[in-house]
Every structure is written in structure tokens, then in C-alpha cells.
């Protein structure tokens, strides 16, 4: 880029159909009420709930050791471990603090947090759905971006943030 136009911003409108960008200044929230409980000392924090494309970005926080869930992924998942450590019973690798994880479509696995981990926080991009299964793969439940939106709405209604609080994360 020549020096004369390097600092000139793009001077045309963005496409009309392009949704507004989303900036979350405190991904790890200062207000604890933003964490949505989904189990015993297990929470998620929505970052982007992409209803139009069927995926979501969130932080998962776990402060209890044990099995979180056994699930199948119809589509890929990307994870970045911000704090702590976790692993899958089906694999010998460990997702350590600072690590990146790619989970392949078709994978069924069982997420565990070991007893010496006091807190685990991981950012996940989950595409499509989490399909919860028993050890034989029989479906016991699911989550998708719509169940996540519903869980947020219910929690924020109950804790005073308000039903509309979740809307800022939806695209
Ligand atoms: Fe997974």
C-alpha cells in the first residue's frame, strides 16, 4: 500500500445485508450474572449466538471435577483453553491451558475435568449441535444455538439482567 492511502479508511458503505459486528469487551465478565448455569458448578458465557448460521461462540467454565457430558458432534468444534485443563476419555491427549483444540465432525467423546483442576475456562465455537448420548451412542438430548438462546433468556429473566439481555449476542 502506498504511503499516501495507507491510513485512509474504506470510503464506501458496507453491504446492506452484512450484520452488525459484535464486540464483547469483557469476554470473562465482570458481572457474574452473565454466566449461565448448565450443571453443578458448570456455566457458559455467550459471546456470539449465531442463529442465522446455526453455531455459537461461548466460554465454558467448570469449577467441579468429574464427567461433564458425553456427546457427538455433527459438525466441527474449535476450542481455546484459557484456564485449567480438561480431556476426553476416548483420547490420550490433554487440552492444557493455552492450547487449541479441533474436534472433528462425527466424533463422540466424553469430557472430563480431573480433581486437581480448581477451575477450567475454555472458549468454544460449536457448530450445529451438541448431541448428548449414552455409551452406546443412543441420543439422550441435544443443544443447539436455539436451546442456548433459550437458556440465556430464562437465566437473565430470573436474575434481573432481563430477557432482552441475550439479544446483543444474537446475529
Ligand atoms: Fe466435544
CA 108 to ligand 1 center in whole angstroms = 7
- Specify the pTM: 0.94
Q: Whole-angstrom Cα distance, residue 162 to residue 77?
A: 30
CA 78 to ligand 1 center in whole angstroms = 9
CA 21 to ligand 1 center in whole angstroms = 27
Backbone dihedral region of 27: left (phi > 0), alpha (psi from -120 to 50 degrees) or beta? alpha
Q: Tell me, yes or no, whether 157 lies in a domain.
A: yes
Q: Tell me, yes or no, whether 155 lies in a domain.
A: yes
Neighbours of ion ligand 1 (CB under 5 A): 103
Q: Tell me, yes or no, whether 113 lies in a domain.
A: yes
The domain that contains 142 carries what CATH number? Answer: 2.60.120.10
State yes or no: pLDDT of 2 exceeds 90: no
Beta-carbon contacts of residue 88 (< 8 Å; ≥ 6 apart): 109, 110, 111, 112
What one-character DSSP code corresponds to residue 84?
A: S
- Residues composing the chain: 171
What is the residue-averaged pLDDT of the chain?
Answer: 97
pLDDT one-digit tens code per residue, 111-161 = 999 999 999 999 999 999 999 999 999 999 999 999 999 999 999 999 999
CA 136 to ligand 1 center in whole angstroms = 16
CA 33 to ligand 1 center in whole angstroms = 25
Q: Whole-angstrom Cα distance, residue 169 to residue 48?
A: 5
Range of the domain at 88: 29-169
Split at pLDDT 50, 70, 90, the class of 3 is confident
Q: How many folded domains does the chain comprise?
A: 1
Q: Tell me, yes or no, whether 124 lies in a domain.
A: yes
Q: Tell me, yes or no, whether 20 lies in a domain.
A: no
Amino acid at each position: 500500500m502506498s504511503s499516501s492511502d495507507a491510513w485512509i479508511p474504506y470510503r464506501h458503505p458496507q453491504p446492506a445485508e452484512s450484520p452488525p459486528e459484535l464486540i464483547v469487551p469483557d469476554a470473562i465478565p465482570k458481572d457474574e450474572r452473565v454466566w449461565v448455569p448448565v450443571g453443578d458448578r458448570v456455566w457458559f458465557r455467550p459471546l456470539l449466538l449465531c442463529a442465522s448460521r446455526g453455531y455459537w461462540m461461548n466460554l465454558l467454565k467448570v469449577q467441579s471435577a468429574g464427567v461433564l457430558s458425553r456427546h457427538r458432534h455433527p459438525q466441527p468444534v474449535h476450542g481455546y483453553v484459557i484456564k485449567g485443563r480438561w480431556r476426553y476419555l476416548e483420547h490420550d491427549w490433554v487440552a492444557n491451558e493455552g492450547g487449541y483444540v479441533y474436534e472433528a465432525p462425527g466424533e463422540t467423546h466424553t469430557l472430563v475435568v480431573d480433581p486437581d483442576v480448581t477451575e477450567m475456562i475454555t472458549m468454544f465455537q460449536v457448530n450445529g449441535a451438541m448431541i448428548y448420548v449414552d455409551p452406546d451412542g443412543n441420543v439422550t438430548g441435544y443443544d443447539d444455538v436455539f436451546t442456548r438462546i433459550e437458556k440465556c433468556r430464562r437465566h437473565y429473566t430470573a436474575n434481573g439482567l432481563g430477557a432482552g439481555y441475550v439479544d446483543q449476542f444474537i446475529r
